[in-house]
Amino acid sequence: MRSMLGKRALSSFVSLFVLIVLVFFLSRLTGDPATLYLPVDASDEMRNNFREIHGLNDPVLTQFGRYLVDLVQLDFGDSLRKARPALEVVLEAFVWTLWLALITMLLVTVAAIVVGSIAAFNVGKPFDRFASVLSLIGASAPDFWIAIVGIVVFSVSFGWLPTSGTGTIWHWVLPISVLFIRPFGLILQIVRGSMITALGAAYVKTARAKGVRNRPIIFVHTLRNAMLPVITVIGDQAAALLNGAVVVETIFGFPGVGKLMIDSILQRDFNVILASIMVTAIAIFIMNILIDIAYALLDPRIRS
């Protein structure tokens, strides 16, 4: 188990380094930040001065070397746009994204497992059909549209919830609801399918023959066996949320890392691009390690 985690951590570190190299050079291929930062009628002298101040006139390899030396000292550089440390800007936004992802995935996981399990136990019955329709709608509905309709209905028409922003617990309701729908639909399908397979296994028939009741059959015997593919999909969906829920952040004015990342790419704010990619990559690596641990806990074969 320990050696597995050690190998995982090492491969994650190598992947992170490759990512830094790729993003550093690729982002610099996309153009000159001075062009975007300065007004269109700025003179060549102003542009050159901007590049000089930010070290962009040096050869790219020199810039990369300097970046690595700073990085070892945990200095991610300053944002070109905001004149603040890039890491500070990214962490400020990432905290919002992390909470949004954590709360959403917790709710999604609980709801999908409960509904999916019950649906699997009642295959073909009205509850199962209802759950299938619900999951299909959830998995296919465009979140942009749901977000706007949510605002119009619940904020403007009924006045129950704030349209957007942050500040109170009520501000979280619409963004989390919108983010909830798609992963819920998807994971519900996986839980249902996986549970149907597990419920057909010989050991379930044996348990039934021994007179074990339905609830222990679902939640004790089959769920553990059915969870492995579910965990994979949960990890995948959580990674997508950690990368930032751009649509939700844009519409609800949630100051998360997704919109920050997109804006920094459009503005060629190199240090913010790199810092945000590194922070999210590290978070995803940590999450993958946690998923590996969860696999090992559920499946003794992996532990051995």
Partner 1 sequence: MKKSFILGGLFAATTALTPAFAQDAGVTIVLGEEPDLVEPCMATRSNIGRIVLGNISETLTELDVRGDEGLKPRLAESWELVDDNTWRFNLRQGVTFSDGSSFDAEDVKHSFERAGSDQITCEISRYYEGISITPRVVDANTIDFTTEPAQPILPLLMSLLTIVPSETAIEFTREPVGTGPYVLSNWAPGQSITLERRADYWGDQPEVATATYVFRADPSVRAAMVAAGEADIAPSISAIDATTDMDVAYPNSETTYLRVDHSMAPLNDIRVREALNLAIDREAFVGTILSEGTELATAMTPPTTLGWNANVEPFGYDVDRAKELLAAAKADGVPVDTEILLVGRTANFPGATETYEAIQSMLSDAGFNVRLQMVEVAEHEQYYSKPYVQDQPILVGAQHDNSRGDPVFSMYFKYHSDGRQSGIADSKVDDLIDRATAATGEEREALWSELFAYLHDDVIADVLLFHMVGHARVGGDVDFTPTIATNSQLQLAEIGLK
Long-range contacts of 40-43 (CB under 8 A, 24+ apart): none
Decide whether 182 or 259 has the Cβ nearer to partner 1.
259
Scan for tokens 């062009």, then name that residue.
35
Decide whether 45 or 301 has the Cβ nearer to partner 1.
45
Decide whether 237 or 243 has the Cβ nearer to partner 1.
243
Question: Cβ 32 to partner 1, closest distance in Å?
Answer: 9
Using alpha carbons, list the distances in angstroms from residue 148 to 125, 144, 151, 175, 178.
34, 6, 5, 11, 10
Report residue 221 as tokens: 């015997």
Report residue 203 as tokens: 């050991």
Measured CA to CA, the distance from residue 181 to residue 272 in angstroms comes to 30
Measured CA to CA, the distance from residue 199 to residue 108 in angstroms comes to 22
Residues paired with residue 85 on neighbouring β-strands, in sequence order: 78
8 A C-beta contact, residue 212 and residue 158: no
Contacting positions for partner 1 (CB under 8 A): 30-31, 35-43, 45-46, 49-50, 53, 79, 81-84, 89, 92-93, 96, 148, 151-152, 155-156, 159-168, 170-171, 250-253, 255, 259-260, 266, 268
Decide whether 39 or 126 has the Cβ nearer to partner 1.
39
Q: What is the DSSP code string of 120-132?
A: HHTTTSHHHHHHH
137 Cβ neighbours under 8 A, 6+ residues apart: 181, 185
Decide whether 92 or 236 has the Cβ nearer to partner 1.
92
Identify the CA nearest to 275 among candidates 62, 87, 8.
87
Decide whether 198 or 241 has the Cβ nearer to partner 1.
241
